[in-house]
Amino acid sequence: MTLPKTIGELKESGYQPKTVKGELRANLINRMKKGDQLFSGIIGYDETVIPEIENAILSCHDIILLGERGQAKTRIMRSLTTLLDESLPVIAGCEINDNPYYPLCKHCHEKITGDKEKTTLAWLPPEMRFSEKLATPDVTIADLIGDIDPVKIAEGRYLSDERAIHYGLIPRTNRGVFAINELPDLHEKIQVGLFNLLEERDVQIRGFKIALPLDIVIIATANPEDYTSRGRIITPLKDRFGAQIRTHYPKTREDEISIVRQEIAPFTTDGFTLTIPPFMEEIIAEISQTARLQSEINHSSGISVRMSIHNMENLISNAFRRSIRLHEHEVVPRTIDLTHLSSSMKGKIEWNFIEDTIEEEKCSLLIRDAVSKIFKKYFSHHSFTPFLKQFSTGDGFELSEMTPSPSYLHNGEPYPALMERVSQLVDNTSPAQQASAVEFILEGLAITGRIKKEIRETALIYRANT
Ligand SMILES: [Zn+2]
C-alpha cells in the first residue's frame, strides 16, 4: 500500500485523524480483543501494574509511574510506542509534526494558503514520535518548551512572531509520547511552564504568550519518596496525571530469575559453552530479594533488579576466566565465584552506616544468607547424614577458584553419598557442573554449621566438625 503523499491524496484516502490518546486507546483495544499481551518483556506485572496501565490508556490519562530504581519504569515508558500507529501523516518539514488537516504553526499555515491540496506530507514511524528526558535541576524552559532563536531575530523576525521560536523537546514531540524521568528533579519554574503548556495550552517564552495547543501524552516517573514529599511537585501538575501507578520489585524469586535471564548480556564466545546451574541462578536472585528486606539498608532508593543482572554477569565472567585459564570448555559458575560480587553490589546498595570497611563484610553476609536459604530449599537436615559420617574419617576438601573440574570428582570419590546428592542437582556427565554442585553442597553445609570451613590465602578447606 502506498501512503498518500499530499493533503489531497490523504483526504481521498478517507483518513481521519485521531488524538494520540485516542490512537493508543484504539490500538490497545485491538490488542486486547486479539488476546495479545500489552507489552512484551515486562515480567511480574501481569496482575499489578499492567491492568493499571491498561485502565489509564482506556481512560486517556497521562501517567505517572512511582517506583524505586530498577523497576522497569523506563521500559514501560518506551513500550508505549508499540501502541502507536505504524505511521502518522504530518505536514512535511514541520518542526512540530503538524496535523495536515489542522496545522498549528504559522509556517504550515503559510504553506497551506497556496495550493492546499498539493501540500506534501511526511509519514512518521512510532520511534520518531517518542522523546525522553531525564529531569535534572538544570533543565530549562528552552530545552523543554523553546526559546527565541537569535538567528531568526537577526533575519528580521519580530520577538512576538512565533516563527522566531526555536522549539524545545515537547513541541517537537507533538502528536507523540513525551516521557520524563524523575519528574520531581525538575525546577519548580519549569514545572509551571510544563503545566501551562499541557493544561492552558499556551507557553510563555521571554514574556511572550504563545498559544500552542499540542496533542501529547505525558508519561513520567518519580521515586515515591521524592514525589510525595511536600513541595517537590507543584500541585496542579500532580493533578494533571490521571493515573498514578506504583511499580514494584519482582515479588518472587522466579520472576527475578526470568528478568535476569532476559536482560543479561548474551554469552557468545567461540569454543566455550555456558551452563548456569539452577541453584546458582536462585542464589543470585535471592541476594537481591534478601537485601530488599534488610533493615540496615536504606530502601528509599531501593535495590534495583540491575544488581541481580550485574551480579550474574560478574559471576559468569569469573567462571569464564577460570575456564580460559584451565582450558575447560564448559563454563559453570561455582559458589566460590560469589566472592567477586562485591564490585557489582557496591553502589547499588545504600547502607544506613557510613564506614566503607564493613560494606564488604555486609555484602558477604548477604551472599551467605542467600546461599543458606537456597541450600535449605534443596536439602533437609537429614540429607547429608550418610555423607557426614563418611566425611568425618576423610581428609576433607581443599579447593580454590582455579581448581580444575576433574579434581572435584577425584576428591569426591571416597564419598559416594555426596556424589549421589550431586547427581540430583546437575548433569552427571559434566565435570564442570559436578564441581559446581560439590562446592554448593560443601558451602551450604559449612554455612549451616554441619562442617568447618577454613580460608587459607586463596584456598578454602572444608573439614569435618571435630
Ligand atoms: Zn507546522
For the chain, domains (ranges, CATH) are 7-246 (3.40.50.300), 253-464 (no CATH)
Ligand 1 centre to CA of 314 (Å) is: 50
Lowest pLDDT segment from 65-79, 121-135, 154-168, 295-309: 154-168
Q: How far is the CA of 210 from the centre of ligand 1 (A)?
A: 14
Cell 568425618 belongs to which residue?
392
With a CB cutoff of 8 Å and minimum separation 6, the contacts of 440 are: 277, 279, 280, 334, 335, 371, 375, 425
CA of 133 to the centre of ligand 1 (A): 23
What is the distance in A from the centroid of ligand 1 to the CA of 101?
Answer: 11
**239 vs 50, 64, 242, CA distance in Å?**
22, 11, 7
Compute the distance from residue 365 Cα to the ligand 1 centre, in Å. Answer: 60
pLDDT surpassing 90 at residue 58: yes
Q: If you measure from the C-alpha of residue 164 to the centroid of ligand 1, how many angstroms do you get, rounded to a whole number? A: 13
Query: Looking at the whole model, is its pTM more than 0.85?
Result: yes
Confidence tier at 193 by pLDDT (50, 70, 90): confident
pLDDT of the residue at 277: 98
CA 165 to centroid of ligand 1, rounded, Å:
12
Evaluate if residue 300 carries a pLDDT over 60: yes
State residue 398 phi and psi, 5-degree precision.
-115, 130
* 183: nearest Cα among 127, 212, 142, 144: 144
- The alpha carbon of 110 and the centre of ligand 1 are apart by a number of angstroms equal to 9
Interval between CA 368 and ligand 1 midpoint (Å): 61
Q: What is the mean pLDDT of the chain?
A: 92
Give φ, ψ of 464 to 5 degrees: -70, 150
pLDDT in tens, 20-52: 999 999 999 999 999 998 888 899 999 999 999
| Diameter of the chain measured on Cα atoms | 99
Predicted pLDDT of residue 49: 97
pLDDT band at 159 (very low <50, low <70, confident <90, very high): low
Cα(213) to centroid(ligand 1), Å: 12
275-302: average pLDDT? 94
Interval 214-255: pLDDT, tens: 999 999 999 999 998 877 899 889 988 999 999 999 999 999
Instruction: Provide the phi-psi class of 180: left if phi over 0, else alpha when psi is between -120 and 50, else beta.
Output: beta
Ligand 1 centroid–CA 187 distance in Å is: 29
Residue 346: closest CA among 334, 333, 357, 337: 357
What pLDDT is stored for residue 161 in this prediction? 67
Per-residue pLDDT at 353: 77
